[in-house]
Amino acid sequence: MIDFGRIPQERLPALLRTMPKAELHIHIEGSLEPEMIFALAKRNGVALAYPSIEALRAAYAFSDLQSFLDIYYAGASVLLHEQDFFDLGFAYLHKAAAENVRCAEVFFDPQTHTARGVAMKDVILGLSHACHRAHAEWGLQAKLILCFLRHLSEDEAMATLDAALPWREQFIGVGLDSSEQGHPPEKFARVFAHARALGLHVVAHAGEEGPPAYIESALDVLHVGRIDHGVRCVESPALVQRLARERMPLTVCPLSNVKLCVFPTLAEHNLPALLQAGLCVTINSDDPAYFGGYLNQNFVEIFAALPQLGSREAYTLARNSFAASFATSADKARWMSELDAHFSAAAAP
Instruction: List interacting residues with ligand ADE (CB under 6 A).
Output: 27, 30, 65, 72, 177-178, 205, 208, 256, 286-287
Give the nearer residue to Zn ion in terms of CB position, either 122 or 286.
286
Among Zn ion, ligand ADE, none, what does residue 188 contact (CB within 5–8 Å per kind)?
none
Minimum distance from CB of 296 to ligand ADE (Å)? Answer: 19
Q: What does the alpha-carbon distance between residue 124 and residue 301 come to, in Å, rounded to a whole number?
A: 33
Among ligand ADE, Zn ion, none, what does residue 178 contact (CB within 5–8 Å per kind)?
ligand ADE
Minimum distance from CB of 71 to Zn ion (Å)? Answer: 15
Give the nearer residue to Zn ion in terms of CB position, either 87 or 208.
208
The string of DSSP codes covering 84-123 is HHHHHHHHHHHHHHHTTEEEEEEEE-HHHHHTTT--HHHH
Minimum distance from CB of 149 to ligand ADE (Å)? Answer: 8
Helices (H), 205-277: 212-220, 237-245, 254-259, 271-276
Q: In what order do the strands lie in the sheet with 173-177?
A: 21-27, 101-108, 141-149, 173-177, 201-206, 226-229, 250-252, 281-283
Among Zn ion, ligand ADE, none, what does residue 65 contact (CB within 5–8 Å per kind)?
ligand ADE
Give the nearer residue to ligand ADE in terms of CB position, either 40 or 76.
76
Query: What phi and psi, each to the nearest 5 degrees, are found at residue 225?
Result: -95, -15
Give the nearer residue to ligand ADE in terms of CB position, either 292 or 310.
292
Minimum distance from CB of 136 to ligand ADE (Å)? Answer: 28
Q: What does the alpha-carbon distance between residue 66 and residue 198 come to, in Å, rounded to a whole number?
A: 32
For residue 139, give every residue at least 6 positions away whose Cβ sits within 8 Å of its Cβ, in sequence order, or none.
97, 102
| Exposure class string for 235-250: b at 16+ Cβ within 10 A, else e | ebeebbeebeeeebbb
Whole-Å CA distances, 227 to 94, 212, 241, 299: 26, 11, 15, 19
Given the residues 208, 209, 216, 313, the one annotated as active site: 208
Minimum distance from CB of 205 to ligand ADE (Å)? Answer: 5
Closest CA to 21 of 274, 295, 260: 295
Minimum distance from CB of 343 to ligand ADE (Å)? Answer: 30
For residue 305, give every residue at least 6 positions away whose Cβ sits within 8 Å of its Cβ, in sequence order, or none.
265, 266, 267, 269
Among ligand ADE, Zn ion, none, what does residue 301 contact (CB within 5–8 Å per kind)?
none
CB of 282 within 8 A of CB of 83? Answer: no
Give the nearer residue to ligand ADE in terms of CB position, either 128 or 257.
257
Among ligand ADE, Zn ion, none, what does residue 208 contact (CB within 5–8 Å per kind)?
ligand ADE
Q: Which residues bind Zn ion (CB under 5 A)?
A: 286
Give the nearer residue to ligand ADE in terms of CB position, either 27 or 232.
27
| 301: annotated active-site residue | no
Query: What phi and psi, each to the nearest 5 degrees, are found at residue 30?
Result: -85, 0
What residue type is 13 in one-letter code? P
Catalytic residues: 208
